[in-house]
Amino acid sequence: MSKELIRLSDCFMKFDDDVILDHINLYINDKEFLTLLGPSGCGKTTTLRIIGGFQKPTSGDVFFDGVRINDVPPHKRKVNTVFQKYALFTHMNIFENVAFGLRVNKVPDPKDPKRMIKVPESEIKERVEEALALVNLAGYGKRSVNSLSGGQQQRVAIARAIVNRPQVLLLDEPLGALDLKLRKDMQIELKRIQQQVGITFIYVTHDQEEALTMSDTIVVMNEGKIQQIGTPEDIYNEPKNAFVADFIGESNIIDGVMHEDYVVGMYGRKFKCLDKGFAPNEPVDVVIRPEDIDIVPEAEGQLTGTVTEVTFKGIHYDIIVDFRGFKWLIQTTDYSPVGAKIGVKIDPDGFHIMKKSQYSGTFGDYSSYSSEYDELNEDRLEDEEDGDEE
């Protein structure tokens, strides 16, 4: 059984009059890969800084192994951090960059634990080589920082952070500076390192795919509040509200009503679903993932609509379909031309029913699917409005 290692208890954070973290409650298990996921400014870095001890919450407590650590300074916490800008020392070679943390730290003398001594040179060598091997950079010790690619430099930063054998590694968007291909490779690499070393990773990203790929647990945040905590599967399959459904993957989110257990209504029709426990006729948000919708001949459809846009995506088509003014995204390998009248079929497990929330009605309509085109239009509109004023 995994054991709780870190707990944030009712952490509240204010800068001036702005609420940055709104009563965060969260625990992190030993050896877990936990990801804080959310849009820019939602409070991810602030949460990480509180765990690292670089920032104190305005109120609330931080516990490590059951002990309150609010007043423990960063260097006394069993935590190390990898930042987005990993700032290696360019005047030192790779070996010295990794060894740095060991050289500045003193450790108890094995012969007399009350005495603090420098880490012996032989141990530094052994541990640096072990750390470099772990990030697949064995033999790179003598190379200069500038002779390495971005991905290799990132790995040096990780070696530097794990060489001290922290119990927890905090990673703040560590792959942000890498291009897509390298980022994907490093995601797999990081997961391997975490499992091999067996330490707790608390990872920050705003990239939902990255979070789904790497994490044991995802914490979805927005505007300083935790929206949902769960496994990648939970978060994807059972989003708690329209914000989560929209932020994780693509979602059509439609106004509906739960007639009774296992029966949801939309567009004045009834559909079988797998959800229960709502009040009779409770208004709900209905999430339908684009890949859970089958296109069928118009006469066989549970609903019928008109195709307004088709984009070839390599493996599938993104098809936008207008159902009485509300536009859905459907992902399918079957081609339907623009203008076609089609029917759709959705199996009961394709419906995900959510309680109404403050986010209802704000997400899940694909009317502005071709965002680039729309943004251009918006710019033009604004220009025209400006023009009118003059």
Ligand X SMILES: Nc1ncnc2c1ncn2[C@@H]1O[C@H](COP(=O)(O)OP(=O)(O)OP(=O)(O)O)[C@@H](O)[C@H]1O
Question: Which residues are near Mg ion by CB under 5 A?
Answer: 45
Binding status of residue 227 toward ligand X by CB under 6 A:
no
Out of ligand X, Mg ion, none, what residue 41 binds, judged by CB under 5 to 8 A for its kind, is ligand X
Report, in Å, the least distance between residue 16 CB and Mg ion.
19
Residue 170 has which token pair?
């905090």
Site for ligand X in 127-186 (CB under 6 A): none
Comparing CB distances to ligand X, the nearer of 40 and 122 is: 40
Strand 112-118 and strand 106-109: the pairing is: antiparallel
Residue 193 has which token pair?
């390192």
- Nearest CA to 350 among 289, 305, 302, 295? 289
The Cα–Cα gap between 128 and 94 comes to: 10
Binding status of residue 335 toward ligand X by CB under 6 A:
no
The Cα–Cα gap between 236 and 247 comes to: 10
The Cα–Cα gap between 115 and 176 comes to: 42
- Residue from 2, 41, 147, 261 binding ligand X (CB under 6 A): 41
Out of Mg ion, ligand X, none, what residue 20 binds, judged by CB under 5 to 8 A for its kind, is ligand X
Tracing tokens 């009605």 back to the chain, one arrives at: 361
Q: Segment contacting ligand X (CB under 6 A): 35-43, 148-156, 190-198, 307-315? A: 35-43
- Residue from 35, 45, 187, 217 binding ligand X (CB under 6 A): 45
List the x/- string, 189-208, binding to ligand X by CB under 6 A. Answer: -----------------x--
Strands (E), 48-123: 59-64, 67-68, 79-82, 106-109, 112-118
- Residue from 34, 42, 163, 168 binding ligand X (CB under 6 A): 42
Q: Segment contacting ligand X (CB under 6 A): 2-10, 27-35, 37-45, 131-139? A: 37-45
Residue 315 has which token pair?
């493996």
Comparing CB distances to ligand X, the nearer of 24 and 319 is: 24
Q: Segment contacting ligand X (CB under 6 A): 40-48, 110-118, 297-305, 342-350? A: 40-48
Strand 282-288 and strand 293-296: the pairing is: unpaired
Binding status of residue 79 toward ligand X by CB under 6 A:
no
Report, in Å, the least distance between residue 204 CB and Mg ion.
6
| Per-position DSSP letters for 245-276, written without gaps between them | HHHSS--EEEEEEEEETTEEEETTEEEE-S--
Report, in Å, the least distance between residue 226 CB and Mg ion.
16
The Cα–Cα gap between 260 and 280 comes to: 5
Report, in Å, the least distance between residue 206 CB and ligand X.
5
- Nearest CA to 212 among 238, 236, 185? 236
- Nearest CA to 21 among 35, 1, 41? 41
Structural contact between residues 288 and 365, judged by C-beta atoms closer than 8 angstroms: no
Report, in Å, the least distance between residue 204 CB and ligand X.
6
Report, in Å, the least distance between residue 176 CB and ligand X.
9
The footprint of ligand X (CB under 6 A) covers 15, 20, 38, 40-46, 206
